[in-house]
């Protein structure tokens, strides 16, 4: 492989490549030096299968992306993290490391047990590199760059001159044929559900975009750069009901029912890693000033939702409360995360978390607690072409379409540009078709024939 130049960073910037998990601009991460780069293929939640399938079928390209990221950040060590139970992915990674010479670049394979939250960047940084994430920062602040395997796959595509406009998505839950397929950004969720044979629950249903712990309800949404899975769930499922609970009800229930057992804090991965995150104190201090509470006890929350969906014995919702308090403090305080929690008598600069074993919740047990028994499927990889009748794309905030109704667009063409002075990126079409609407969302209609021709899977001839 030819040496990596800054030209690749410019391509990443122009393409607007973002982290496939975080959604943060990838150019910002690749522009900073790192000691270790970790390819994260650990789908640490139930229902998620896309990352494992990607490595199982395209391990060579993922590891090539890891090598590129190491060269860009001048990292001397790399690792790919996978669940031990994802045997096909593990075997493919081992073959690629041995046969393609990645071992000489100090790339290791790390196999982890199937537990939550094994895929958290703080956990991976501590387990693989022995680094602790600083308060209010990221793993890269400690010299560890954690990138999703899909981001690395797309990085190689970009170097080959292909602008990323799609990603691998698992369609699972209450569907007739769970499957993992390539879908362009903007593919409506309803199209993916139909491709999976439709809903199997019989009654009203909705879509959970993402994993059951971190995902959001969005029945009318579309695939974005960060959509790794969608799950069809009945409207009466407990995960749906709890996510639809108004924040006023969440707050009132916490004030009435929380008895300070501290189990939410004891199982909090951020607290165990030394962050000033203490959900039980947030619950007990709801009558205090929101900005004070958020800055003192909610700092470092990663949104893993372990406190809400697993730890609390009376099914309260500390995660939503901390997110709500943090949002309000961002409005009320100009710098809410500066000096997070350092006045806490329990805060010892990160040392405390190192003395506690991390929470390791087996995925099978977690799935049962979440009510996903019978809904957590293998969702096999399907390399067949996906027929997409139209794309439903969201124009970047402050941006504007650069096409008009009736225009014919080609695969990869820029169809909307962001507003000046923003971190948003140009919007590209993932299919060939005709623009039929530009507001409130940009819609591109395509015949099935055109869609199939422009969406051949990577391993199609």
- The full 3-state SS of 66-126, as one line of letters, equals HHHHHHHHCCCEEEEEEECCCHHHHHHHHHHHHHCCHHHHCEEEEEECCEECCCCHHHHHH
Question: Strand pairing partners for 173?
Answer: 232
Asked whether residue 280 is assigned to any structural domain, the reply reads yes
Q: How far is CA 239 from CA 189, 202, 236, 255, 384, in A?
A: 19, 18, 8, 22, 32
Which pLDDT does position 292 carry in this prediction?
65
| CATH code for position 91 | 3.40.50.11540
Q: Say yes or no: 140 and 28 in one domain.
A: yes
Which pLDDT does position 273 carry in this prediction?
74
Which pLDDT does position 437 carry in this prediction?
93
Q: Say yes or no: 106 and 231 in one domain.
A: no
How many whole angstroms separate alpha carbon 77 and alpha carbon 108?
8
Asked whether residue 361 is assigned to any structural domain, the reply reads no
What three-state secondary structure class fits 178? Answer: coil
Q: Say yes or no: 136 and 22 in one domain.
A: yes
pTM of the model: 0.87
Domain hosting residue 69, numbered range: 6-159
Q: Say yes or no: 108 and 233 in one domain.
A: no
Q: Say yes or no: 118 and 94 in one domain.
A: yes
Which pLDDT does position 445 carry in this prediction?
93
Count of structural domains within the chain: 4
Q: Say yes or no: 27 and 119 in one domain.
A: yes
Asked whether residue 77 is assigned to any structural domain, the reply reads yes
Which pLDDT does position 290 carry in this prediction?
62
Which pLDDT does position 191 carry in this prediction?
94
What is the full per-residue pLDDT of the chain (461 aa) written as tens digits?
A: 455 567 889 888 888 788 877 778 888 899 999 999 999 999 889 999 999 999 999 999 999 999 999 999 999 999 999 999 999 999 999 999 988 777 677 899 999 999 998 888 888 998 899 888 777 678 898 999 999 999 999 999 999 988 888 999 999 999 999 999 999 999 999 999 999 999 999 899 999 999 999 999 999 899 988 899 999 999 999 999 999 999 999 988 988 899 888 999 999 988 887 777 889 988 888 766 666 666 677 777 888 999 999 999 999 999 998 888 777 764 333 333 333 333 433 333 333 444 456 678 999 999 999 999 999 998 999 998 788 999 999 887 788 899 999 999 988 888 998 877 666 677 888 889 999 999 888 999 986 544 443 444 444 43
Asked whether residue 224 is assigned to any structural domain, the reply reads yes
> Last residue of some domain: 205, 223, 241?
241
Cβ contact 428:396 at 8 Å: no
253: tokens are 């229930």
Residues 6 or more apart in contact with residue 446 via CB below 8 angstroms: 388, 389, 390, 391, 431, 432, 433, 434, 454
Which pLDDT does position 329 carry in this prediction?
63
245: tokens are 């609970």
| CATH code for position 434 | 2.40.50
Q: Say yes or no: 38 and 142 in one domain.
A: yes
Q: Say yes or no: 298 and 201 in one domain.
A: no
């Amino acid at each position: 492989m030819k040496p990596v130049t800054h030209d690749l960073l410019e391509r990443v910037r122009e393409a607007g490549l973002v982290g496939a998990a975080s959604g943060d601009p990838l150019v910002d991460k690749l522009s900073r030096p790192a000691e270790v780069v970790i390819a994260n293929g650990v789908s640490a939640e139930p229902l998620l299968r896309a990352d494992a399938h990607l490595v199982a079928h395209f391990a060579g390209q993922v590891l090539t992306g890891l090598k590129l990221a190491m060269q860009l950040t001048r990292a001397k060590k790399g690792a790919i993290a996978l669940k031990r139970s994802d045997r096909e992915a593990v075997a493919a990674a081992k073959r690629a490391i041995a046969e393609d010479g990645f071992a000489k670049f100090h790339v290791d394979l790390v196999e982890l047990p199937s537990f939550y939250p094994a895929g958290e960047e703080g956990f991976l940084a501590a387990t693989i590199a022995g680094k602790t994430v600083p308060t209010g920062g990221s793993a890269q602040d400690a010299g560890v760059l954690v990138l999703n395997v899909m981001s690395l796959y797309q990085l190689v595509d970009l170097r080959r001159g292909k602008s990323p406009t799609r990603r691998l998505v698992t369609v699972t839950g209450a569907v007739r044929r769970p499957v993992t397929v390539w879908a362009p950004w903007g593919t409506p969720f309803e199209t993916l559900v139909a491709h999976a044979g439709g809903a199997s629950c019989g009654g009203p249903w909705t879509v959970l975009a993402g994993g059951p712990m971190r995902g959001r309800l969005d029945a009318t949404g579309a695939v974005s750069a960060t959509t790794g899975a969608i799950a069809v769930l009945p409207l009466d499922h407990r995960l749906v009901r709890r996510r639809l609970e108004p924040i006023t009800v969440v707050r009132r229930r916490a004030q009435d029912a929380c008895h300070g057992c501290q189990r939410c804090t004891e199982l909090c991965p951020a607290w165990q890693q030394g962050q000033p995150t203490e959900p039980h104190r947030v619950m007990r201090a709801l009558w205090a000033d929101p900005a004070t509470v958020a800055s003192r006890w909610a700092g470092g929350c990663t949104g893993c939702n372990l406190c809400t969906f697993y730890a609390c014995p009376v099914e309260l919702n500390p995660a939503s409360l901390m997110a709500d308090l943090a949002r309000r403090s961002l409005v009320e305080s100009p710098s809410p995360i500066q000096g997070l929690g350092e006045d806490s008598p329990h805060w010892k600069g990160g040392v405390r978390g190192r003395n506690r074993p991390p929470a390791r919740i087996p995925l099978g047990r977690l799935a049962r607690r979440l009510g996903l028994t019978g809904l957590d499927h293998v969702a096999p990889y399907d390399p067949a072409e996906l027929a997409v009748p139209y794309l439903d794309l969201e124009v970047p905030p402050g941006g504007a379409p650069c096409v008009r109704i009736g225009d014919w667009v080609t695969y990869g063409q820029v169809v909307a540009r962001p507003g000046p002075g923003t971190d948003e990126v140009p919007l590209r079409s993932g299919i060939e078709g005709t623009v039929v609407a530009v507001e409130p969302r940009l819609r591109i209609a395509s015949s099935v024939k055109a869609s199939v021709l422009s969406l051949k899977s990577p391993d199609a001839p």
